[in-house]
């Protein structure tokens, strides 16, 4: 789409309130080639009045309202307070709705009907975009798993024997998934340092982040029926950025012999925007070469499902890491296949996370426990030294992916501020 009224010369002669929000510069990262979905409340309404929205530039399109005005058959799945109806509608409907939305925001014939349903992004309240059913978190980065192995098991091989045979994961708590911008209360719990004679109770002193990508399930599956790799795109609607906050001291004491519990369950932040898989077709890549043969249900050699996502992590506005998602050993399709291979069913609104994303370089580590090497090498920031998070710290994850014809796809960011516990 060619640049129009947003150019400098046009804005010099046209009042800002008369510029058409659909006249975006060519290649805008939230242009018609992107169109992520969210849920919002307009400034003029009560927050309880929630609507499905689609981001276009710096505006949100009331998708249900526009669909009704245009007489679209998709109005029933879009005129909802959450994305769940759209998620459940399936891949054919996802594609049909996307084509319709693209037409509504690009075809001049629709502009007069569509324009009243555009809201400035700065004027709306964004909400958790879907009702989360189950939440599973994986451990899919070889670099992250190896770093933690070297930290905590220096006399052993960094990876456990099972790690390259299956995507390791655990079942998490869905009720504490929160939308970007929600404050994160510092959790309390039991903790015990190796030299302590007994555990103590109190606020976590080793609060950390985990830079992740979340996968949002749309179409459910029957219990007892595994979902094969080839059906990944029939079930997964889209991706979002995810920060799985972690209390490392609570986690370290409780996770023997079982997995994470209170050290993880207090909060998981996701973006307010879900990017559909279709928008990311140009970003698909092959994962790193696997060094161990895979069992047939995980063998993705015929259709690899990695994604080239360029992620940036900031702490109080300072860039502290840029982890590359393209280097993840296990893909979203393999995680889904493994999650269901025992017959566990999918539900609309299931969310599963990739686990911490870390690259091979020091500036590509996706958690503070790696960046500061368990606090031994603190970050030196303008706001002070950091081994782990302090109250008042603000973490933001942002990312982009290659789009069609050299464009960029911007993912919705995830921001959270740490506040003291009560």
Q: Give dist(CA 253, CA 67) in Å, integer.
A: 52
- The 10 Å Cβ neighbour count of residue 259 is 17
- Where do we find the tokens 């879900």? 274
Strand spans (E) along 121-235: 125-127, 135-138, 169-171, 177-179, 184-185, 188-191, 200-203, 207-208, 211-217
CA distance 146 to 262: 24
**Nearest residue to 32 (alpha-carbon basis) of 21, 41, 16:** 21
CB atoms within 10 A of CB 404: 11
Going by C-beta distance under 8 Å and a sequence separation of 6 or more, which residues neighbour residue 108? none
Which of 144, 165, 261, 338 is catalytic? The answer is 144
Contact 56, 31 (CB under 8 A): yes
Residues 411 and 240 sit within 8 Å (Cβ to Cβ): yes
Strands (E), 195-247: 200-203, 207-208, 211-217, 236-243, 246-247
Burial class (CB in 10 A: 0-12, 13-18, 19+), 30: buried
Residue with tokens 């928008």: 279
Residue 333 and residue 297 in contact, taking contact as beta carbons nearer than 8 Å: no
Residue 338 a catalytic site member: no
Show which residues are catalytic. Answer: 144
């Amino acid at each position: 789409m060619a640049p129009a009224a947003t150019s400098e010369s046009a804005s010099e002669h046209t009042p800002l309130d008369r510029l058409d929000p659909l006249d975006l510069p060519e290649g805008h990262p939230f242009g018609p080639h992107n169109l992520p979905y969210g849920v919002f409340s307009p400034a003029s309404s009560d927050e309880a009045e929630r609507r499905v929205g689609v981001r276009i530039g710096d505006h949100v399109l009331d998708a249900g309202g526009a669909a009704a005005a245009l007489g679209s058959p998709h109005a029933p799945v879009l005129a909802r307070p959450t994305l769940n109806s759209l998620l459940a509608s399936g891949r054919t409907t996802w594609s049909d709705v996307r084509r319709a939305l693209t037409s509504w925001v690009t075809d001049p014939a629709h502009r007069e009907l569509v324009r009243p349903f555009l809201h400035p992004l700065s004027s709306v309240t964004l909400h958790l975009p879907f009702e989360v059913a189950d939440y599973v978190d994986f451990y899919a980065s070889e670099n992250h798993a190896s770093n933690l192995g070297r930290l905590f098991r220096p006399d052993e091989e960094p990876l456990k024997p099972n790690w390259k045979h299956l995507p390791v994961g655990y079942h998490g708590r869905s009720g504490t998934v929160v939308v970007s911008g929600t404050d994160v209360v510092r959790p309390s719990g039991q903790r015990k340092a190796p030299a302590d004679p007994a555990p103590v109770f109190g606020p976590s002193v080793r609060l950390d982040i985990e830079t992740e990508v979340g996968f949002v399930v749309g179409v459910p599956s029957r219990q007892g029926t595994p979902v094969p790799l080839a059906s990944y795109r029939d079930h997964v609607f889209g991706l979002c950025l995810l920060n799985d906050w972690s209390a490392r001291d609570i986690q370290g004491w409780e996770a023997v012999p079982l997995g994470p519990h209170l050290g993880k369950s207090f909060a998981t932040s996701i973006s307010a925007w879900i990017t559909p898989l279709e928008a990311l077709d140009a970003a698909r890549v092959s994962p790193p070469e696997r060094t161990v043969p895979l069992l047939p249900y995980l063998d993705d050699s015929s259709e690899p499902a990695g994604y080239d996502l360029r992620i940036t992590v900031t702490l109080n506005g300072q860039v502290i890491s840029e982890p590359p998602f393209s280097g993840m050993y296990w893909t979203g399709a393999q995680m889904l296949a493994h999650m269901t291979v025992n017959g566990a069913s999918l539900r609309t609104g299931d969310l599963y996370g990739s686990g911490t994303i870390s690259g091979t370089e020091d500036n590509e580590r996706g958690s503070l426990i790696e960046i500061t090497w368990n606090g031994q090498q603190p970050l030196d920031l303008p706001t002070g030294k950091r081994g782990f998070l302090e109250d008042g710290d603000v973490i933001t994850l942002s990312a982009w992916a290659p789009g069609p014809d050299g464009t960029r796809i911007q993912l919705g960011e995830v921001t959270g501020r740490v506040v003291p516990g009560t």
